[in-house]
Amino acid sequence: MVAKVGDYMTTEVAAVTPQDTLGAVKNVMLGRKVKRVLVVDGERPVGIVTVDDLAKAWAKRGPPWRWRSPENASVSRYMTRDLVTISPHSSIVEAARLMLEKGISGLPVVEGDRVVGIITKTDLLRYFARELKGRFKVQDLMTRDVVTVRETDSVKKAAMLMKERGISRLVVIGPDGRIRGILTETDIAFVAPERTGKFIVIDTGVGRSSREVKLGSVGELMSNPVVTVRPDADASKAARVMLEWRISGLPVSPDGETLVGIITKTDIIRGIVIGSPAE
C-alpha cells in the first residue's frame, strides 16, 4: 500500500498575516517549535516564511550606520509568495520529489481551496525511519563535500556562507581538522540577533560615527558536543537520531572526531525517492 501525504502530514498549521513582523514570526516559531509559518490573508494562503528567511534577513542587515533590527521588518517583505502545495491524497514519494525539485522543506497540504495541513522534511523522516529500515547505509546517502567554518569565524560570515551555498548548517572544525561543533540557521535566526555584532550610532561635532558594541563568533553560538553517526550505520538510524534530537543533519565520522561527510534531511529524502517501491 502506497503511503499518502495525509498519513504523515501535520494538521495544526502555524500562521501569520503579511502585516505581521519577523519578530512575531520568530515568537511563533519558538513557541510552536516549528521552522516555517504559513502566511494567510483571511483564510487564503498567500505565502510562507521560514527560519531560512529569518537568517537571510539578519545576514542582510547592511552597513552599521544603516542597521535596523530585522525583527521589525514586515513578513510581506521576506515571505515566499509562489506557494508549492500538494494534495493529502498524493503519495509520500511525490512529496519528496517536489521538495527536492523545488529546493523547499515543507509543502502546505491543500484540499480544494482549504489548507488542511503541512508536510515537512521531518514528516518524511518519520516515513523513512519506519518504512526503509535496512535499505541504505549512511555512506550511501551522505554528502561528502562538507562546508566547514572555524570557531573564530564571525557569525556574519557563517550566515553569508549558508546563503551562498544554500545550506542550513555548517560543521565547525578546529585547527587540527577535528569536529568541534555545529552551527545552524536556527542558531543565527533565533540567537544571533541578541548576541552578535551590534552597533551604536554616535553624533559627533563632525557628523555621525558608528561603534561596535559586541562581536559574535561562531564559537559563541555553535552546539557542542556534536551528535555524529558512523558511515556504516543504517540510514534509518540516522533518521531516528535526527527525529529524537530535533536536528536536521549529522556529521558522519568513524570515530566521533574525523569528518568524512554529513547526512541531512535532504539526503534522507533523496533516499525516499530512489528507495521506495514504484507507485
Which pLDDT band holds residue 43 (cuts at 50, 70, 90)? Answer: confident
Domain boundary among 107, 131, 155: 131
Residue 272 lies in a domain: no
Looking at residue 35, its pLDDT comes to 86
Task: Pick from 82-91, 107-116, 204-213, 269-278 the range whose average pLDDT is largest.
Answer: 82-91
User: What residues have CB less than 8 Å from 146, skipping those under 6 apart?
Assistant: 171, 251, 259, 261, 262
Query: Is residue 203 scored above 50 in pLDDT?
Result: no
Count of domains observed in the chain: 2
Q: What is the pTM of this model?
A: 0.79
Looking at residue 41, its pLDDT comes to 85
Which pLDDT band holds residue 205 (cuts at 50, 70, 90)? Answer: very low
Conformational region of residue 57, where left means phi above 0, alpha means psi within -120 to 50, and beta covers everything else: alpha
109 C-beta neighbours (distance < 10 Å), count: 25
Residue 178 lies in a domain: yes
**161 with 251, same domain?**
yes
**179 with 249, same domain?**
yes
Which pLDDT band holds residue 193 (cuts at 50, 70, 90)? Answer: low
What are 234-270's pLDDT values in tens digits?
999 999 999 999 899 999 999 999 999 999 999 999 9
Domain boundary among 104, 131, 158: 131
What are 114-139's pLDDT values in tens digits?
889 999 999 999 999 999 999 999 99
What are 49-64's pLDDT values in tens digits?
988 888 777 666 555 4
**237 with 158, same domain?**
yes
Q: At what angle do helices 121-131 and 235-245 cross, to 10 degrees?
A: 140
d(CA 195, CA 60): 16
Helix, strand or coil, per DSSP, at residue 174: coil
Contact predicate 262/242, CB 8 Å: no
Q: What is the DSSP string of 104-169?
A: -SEEEEEETTEEEEEEEHHHHHHHHHHH-TTT-BHHHH-BSS--EEETTSBHHHHHHHHHHHT-SE
Residue 274 lies in a domain: no
**253 with 179, same domain?**
yes
Mean pLDDT of the chain, nearest integer: 85
**127 with 142, same domain?**
no
**186 with 108, same domain?**
no
Segments forming the whole domain that contains residue 162? 138-190+219-264
Helix, strand or coil, per DSSP, at residue 28: helix
Tell me how far apart the 2 most distant CA atoms of the chain are, in Å.
Answer: 76
Looking at residue 59, its pLDDT comes to 64
Q: Of 33, 105, 126, 27, which Cα lies nearest the Cα of 71? A: 27
Q: Averaged over 12-18, what is the pLDDT?
A: 92
d(CA 243, CA 129): 9
For residue 256, count CB atoms less than 10 angstroms from its CB and return exposed for 0-12, middle for 13-18, buried for 19 or more. middle
Looking at residue 234, its pLDDT comes to 98
Domain boundary among 110, 131, 152: 131
**178 with 126, same domain?**
no
Residue 213 lies in a domain: no
Residue 205 lies in a domain: no
**76 with 91, same domain?**
yes
d(CA 233, CA 235): 6
**151 with 259, same domain?**
yes
The CATH code of the domain that includes 240 is: 3.10.580.10
Q: What are the helix (H) ranges across the chain?
A: 5-8, 22-32, 51-59, 75-78, 92-102, 121-131, 138-141, 155-165, 185-190, 192-195, 218-221, 235-245, 265-275
Of 83-97, 127-141, 159-173, 251-265, the poorest mean pLDDT is in 159-173
Residue 200 lies in a domain: no
